[in-house]
Structure 1
Amino acid sequence: MSIPKVTIITLNWNGKKDTIECLESLKQVTYPNYEILLVDNGSTDGSAELFREHYPGIKIVENEKNLGFTGGCNIGIKKAISDGADYILLLNNDVAVEPDFLDELISVAKKNENIGILGTKINYYDATDQIWAAGGFINYWICLVAYHGMDKRDTEKYSREKDVDFVSGCAMLIKAGLFQKIGLLDERYFAYFEDVDICLMAKKNGCGIRYVPSAKIYHKVSRTSGGALSPFSLYYNTRNKLLFLRKHFHMPQLLTAFIVIMAVFGIRTLYLLIFRRDIRACSMIFKGIEDAFIGRFGAQI
């Protein structure tokens, strides 16, 4: 029986320190048929040149500008498909992996033809016994999109394989043929919510989403975007949550979820204004709301 070919796509944008650690981690992977495709998103720190010199065994694609997570990944996905990949693994550059993580993912994928997307157990890089994500769930009445197990101790509870609503794009294995059914990542998102979006698109096309806890990685969390309260994160999370709501929700959940998330945006703005006195952060929330309503998507800040 032939061994499926896996293309690991990782993006780099002026993050060569994290990317190098990720690439060194991938050297230890035990799965016998994989390649690494590094997409450099317009870095200005000499990253691409360094990778070409020190990692001659990997494929490198250089974009002229930062196309975001969605655009950068889509460039890689199209190349991976044209080069004959059976599976495509989207992997953040700020992670370290267990050597057998890919074996575990492929083992589950091969046994379940109806599964289209698989995700790993993701623990914190700096607290390896603590869960960051163990698959995700969605409450459609309040548009709560969250990870199972976040900040919990890694126990047996989170070591059971199961179907979930979505898995994190931090480490997402996708059957290459799925893209022919649902298309590529929606580039309107640029960054954030694109992983939840593609999981829902897969489910609408009859494909399962599976959390595989025996496949394990460690995530540094928000290294590229600057953290959850950075202007980048606040803007794209705000705008893209409204895009996600418009794209996937229907009445009556659409109405209740819209009311709830607008209230949450208001509370967050008050917190940033009163306790942090961060006018710029507040403006990013307002800009995200405005752009979502007028349909201004893609790269905006």
Structure 2
Amino acid sequence: MEGEALTIAVINHNGSDVLKRTLDALQKVTYRPLELLLVDDASTDGSDLWARQAYPSLRVVRMASNAGRPSIVRNRALREARSRYVLLLDHDVCLRPDAPTNLMKAMRLRPGVAATAPRLVYANDPNRLYGDGTNLHYLCISGFNARGQSIEQRPIRTPFPSLAGGNVLFDREVALWLGGYDEDYHFGWGEDAELCLRCRIAGFDVLHVPEAVGSHVERPRGLNRAEAQFYNRYRMMFTIYETRTLLLLAPALIVFEFCLLVLSMSKGTAMMYLRAIRGAIRDAGPITWQRAQVQATRMVGDLDLLEASPLISTGALAESRRVAFASSMLQGMFNRYWQMISRQLEP
């Protein structure tokens, strides 16, 4: 397929163990015209130098110093790309040859599509889903994303509205008009999806494309990102949600915060939780400024963005029996509460 130019920008930091697999796959991509770009966050393992030598057609841009936040590196990729359409790709994601073509088809499906995202499977088990579209739970946590299910359990083929993580094809003009990624998010959770949320708030579509497939190398994360996850959640709520939404959700959020604190104590992350709250209070000024920018673009209400999907524990609290038990006990209550207030969120 030929059409408008596409840039695939790989975001890399010390990816020597995965980068070859990713870049080899990009050599087989069928879409044309195509620019391949590597934006390196000041790697210390030589992976950027190796890539420059191994792939002469690859344009390599190295950050002057380690940003430590993918949002900063992704914004650099958006600015460096030479085409309107930019597919941002983590260095541990390997695309199938037709994936960019399918993403571009979905981008042109109808006017107003700002971003499209691929289905991801596990690299070591390609019949098992790593990510297959998600939305935001109204408690500002990850919605259901089918992680761990088999492909047979998700026969969906047509694109559908969703959010996207770090692997997403953007209309660069829209992304930059919205200010790009919020670089004040920490690396841990939500820092990649918030730009997609802002696209949808501004009235653009973000589509998940099941026929565009990539494989993801799963790595253990542990608890090292817990503070970032907590902080990003507060930042997202207070920049993305409408004031009316925050007021209506206050009772449910208070209950959830108490549960989150108790669970954080049981996991040994209570101090991270408290530091995240302190950080959000400290950054109240910048958060308020960012909130004003987001709300000024609003064309779509929160009712079209949020949902009461099954409570899924991720990141720092994943795979906890206490979390699973609490989730099952609270699920019904939170669902009923959403049913009660959602009518009041209607325009």
The TM tier, using the shorter chain, reads: 0.7 to 0.9
The residue aligned with 1:248 is: 240
Q: 2:178 is matched by which residue type in structure 1?
A: I
The residue aligned with 1:6 is: 6
Q: CA deviation at 1:190?
A: 3.7
- Equivalent residue for 2:217, pick from 202, 216, 220: 220
Measured against aligned partners, the alpha-carbon deviations of 1:220-272 in whole angstroms (never above 9, x if no partner) come to 13x4xx51x331x2121111011001111233345245325423431332332
Partner SS state of residue 193, structure 2 = helix
Q: 1:79 is matched by which residue type in structure 2?
A: E
User: 1:122, 1:131 within 8 Å by CA — same for their partners in 2?
Assistant: yes
User: 1:143, 1:257 within 8 Å by CA — same for their partners in 2?
Assistant: no
- Equivalent residue for 1:101, pick from 62, 74, 99: 99
Q: Is the alpha carbon distance of 1:24 and 1:200 closer, same or farther for their aligned partners in structure 2, counting shifts above 3 Å?
A: same
Q: 2:50 is matched by which residue type in structure 1?
A: L
Alignment partners' CA distance in 1, 2:71 and 2:202: 20
Q: Is the alpha carbon distance of 1:2 and 1:53 closer, same or farther for their aligned partners in structure 2, counting shifts above 3 Å?
A: closer
Q: 2:172 is matched by which residue type in structure 1?
A: A
The residue aligned with 2:70 is: 69
Q: 1:71 is matched by which residue type in structure 2?
A: I
Q: Is the alpha carbon distance of 1:36 and 1:147 closer, same or farther for their aligned partners in structure 2, counting shifts above 3 Å?
A: farther
Alignment partners' CA distance in 2, 1:220 and 1:267: 32
* Number of residue equivalences: 281
Alignment partners' CA distance in 2, 1:158 and 1:238: 34
**Is 2:274 aligned against 1:286?**
yes
The residue aligned with 1:86 is: 84
Alignment partners' CA distance in 2, 1:31 and 1:16: 26
User: 1:165, 1:200 within 8 Å by CA — same for their partners in 2?
Assistant: no
The residue aligned with 1:278 is: none
Q: 1:244 is matched by which residue type in structure 2?
A: M
Q: 2:71 is matched by which residue type in structure 1?
A: T
**Is 2:258 aligned against 1:258?**
no
User: 1:133, 1:148 within 8 Å by CA — same for their partners in 2?
Assistant: yes
Alignment partners' CA distance in 2, 1:269 and 1:65: 33
Q: Is the alpha carbon distance of 1:155 and 1:288 closer, same or farther for their aligned partners in structure 2, counting shifts above 3 Å?
A: same
The residue aligned with 2:132 is: 134
Q: CA deviation at 1:65?
A: 2.1
Q: Is the alpha carbon distance of 1:108 and 1:115 closer, same or farther for their aligned partners in structure 2, counting shifts above 3 Å?
A: same
Measured against aligned partners, the alpha-carbon deviations of 1:146-189 in whole angstroms (never above 9, x if no partner) come to 242121111263423243341222x2011122124311111011
- Equivalent residue for 1:267, pick from 247, 252, 262: 262
Alignment partners' CA distance in 1, 2:153 and 2:59: 38
Q: Is the alpha carbon distance of 1:45 and 1:194 closer, same or farther for their aligned partners in structure 2, counting shifts above 3 Å?
A: same
Measured against aligned partners, the alpha-carbon deviations of 1:91-127 in whole angstroms (never above 9, x if no partner) come to 1111111111011111121232221111111111122
Q: Is the alpha carbon distance of 1:38 and 1:253 closer, same or farther for their aligned partners in structure 2, counting shifts above 3 Å?
A: farther
TM-score (norm 2): 0.75
Q: Is the alpha carbon distance of 1:215 and 1:260 closer, same or farther for their aligned partners in structure 2, counting shifts above 3 Å?
A: farther
Q: 1:126 is matched by which residue type in structure 2?
A: N
Q: Is the alpha carbon distance of 1:93 and 1:2 closer, same or farther for their aligned partners in structure 2, counting shifts above 3 Å?
A: closer
Q: Is the alpha carbon distance of 1:158 and 1:264 closer, same or farther for their aligned partners in structure 2, counting shifts above 3 Å?
A: farther
Q: CA deviation at 1:43?
A: 1.1
Q: Is the alpha carbon distance of 1:105 and 1:150 closer, same or farther for their aligned partners in structure 2, counting shifts above 3 Å?
A: same
User: 1:134, 1:147 within 8 Å by CA — same for their partners in 2?
Assistant: no
Partner SS state of residue 10, structure 2 = strand
Q: 2:234 is matched by which residue type in structure 1?
A: L
Q: 1:251 is matched by which residue type in structure 2?
A: L
Partner SS state of residue 38, structure 1 = strand
Q: CA deviation at 1:2?
A: 6.6
Q: 1:175 is matched by which residue type in structure 2?
A: D
Alignment partners' CA distance in 2, 1:125 and 1:201: 30
* Unaligned 5+ runs, structure 2: 288-347
Percent identical: 23
Alignment partners' CA distance in 2, 1:188 and 1:271: 29
User: 2:140, 2:236 within 8 Å by CA — same for their partners in 1?
Assistant: no
Q: Is the alpha carbon distance of 1:28 and 1:289 closer, same or farther for their aligned partners in structure 2, counting shifts above 3 Å?
A: same
The residue aligned with 1:176 is: 172
The residue aligned with 1:211 is: 208
Alignment partners' CA distance in 2, 1:155 and 1:260: 37
User: 1:135, 1:168 within 8 Å by CA — same for their partners in 2?
Assistant: no
Q: 2:185 is matched by which residue type in structure 1?
A: Y
TM-score (norm 1): 0.86
* Unaligned 5+ runs, structure 1: 274-280
